């Protein structure tokens, strides 16, 4: 398991942290199609944490014998909203979503929600397989492994 600090960088405003994400060995965290957008942040000590905004990332499971070839690829949509929870809480569930062009098909997905009273926010992560040739690039067991590792090492601040 490896930890990755997800953050948004701005030339004038500086760095705003989003989340410390744990991923299984062999998986890489890659930037998504757009930069993170931070609408609000919470200052705690000398660190800023995104309290409202969204970000997109990709997680790729790389083949050890071919480092440029991804065995599986998962898209992560991360949303932060202001919240006033009393306790740290983490919930997750496995579901399906409709993806792809015509015909659209049901693919496995997972959702993880984190309530963080320290930063006054709720984080929601939606994980779904990237599509290649109208086929999902990750299997349900890939998502299960990702979510289990995330839950073991997840830190919201």
Segments making up each domain of the chain, as ranges: 2-153
Query: What is the pLDDT, as a whole number, of residue 88?
Result: 92
Tallying the residues shown for the chain, one arrives at 157
Q: How far is CA 8 from CA 21, 46, 139, in A?
A: 14, 16, 30
Query: What is the pLDDT, as a whole number, of residue 69?
Result: 63
Among residues 75, 69, 83, 4, the alpha carbon closest in space to that of 34 is found at 75
The answer for 141, left when phi > 0, alpha when psi is -120 to 50, beta otherwise, is alpha
Query: What is the pLDDT, as a whole number, of residue 113?
Result: 95
Instruction: Supply 11's token pair.
Output: 């030339």
- Residues 39, 60, 113, 156: what is their CA dihedral angle, to the nearest 10 degrees? -70
**pLDDT per residue of the chain (157 residues) written in tens, 0 to 9:** 999 999 999 888 889 999 999 999 989 999 999 999 999 999 999 999 999 999 999 999 887 666 566 678 899 999 999 987 789 999 999 999 998 777 788 999 999 999 999 999 999 999 999 988 888 888 899 999 999 999 998 888 8
Rounded to whole angstroms, the Cα distance separating 126 from 15 reads 23
- Domain 2-153 belongs to what topology? Jelly Rolls (2.60.120)
Q: How far is CA 96 from CA 14, 37, 90, in A?
A: 37, 26, 20
Question: 10 Å Cβ neighbour count for 11?
Answer: 5
């Amino acid at each position: 398991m490896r930890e990755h600090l997800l953050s948004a960088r701005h030339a004038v405003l500086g760095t705003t942290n989003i989340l410390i994400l744990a991923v299984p060995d062999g998986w890489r965290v890659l930037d998504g199609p757009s930069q993170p957008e931070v609408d609000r942040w919470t200052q705690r000590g000398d660190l800023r944490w995104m309290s409202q905004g969204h970000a997109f990332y990709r997680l790729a499971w790389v083949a050890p014998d071919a480092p440029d070839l991804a065995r599986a690829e998962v898209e992560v949509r991360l949303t932060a909203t202001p919240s006033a929870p009393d306790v740290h809480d983490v919930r997750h569930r496995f579901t399906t979503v409709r993806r792809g062009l015509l015909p659209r098909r049901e693919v496995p997905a997972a959702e993880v929600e984190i309530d963080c009273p320290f930063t006054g926010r709720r984080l929601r992560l939606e994980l779904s397989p990237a599509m290649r040739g109208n086929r999902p690039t990750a299997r349900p067991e890939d998502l299960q492994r990702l979510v289990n590792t995330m839950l073991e090492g997840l830190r919201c601040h």
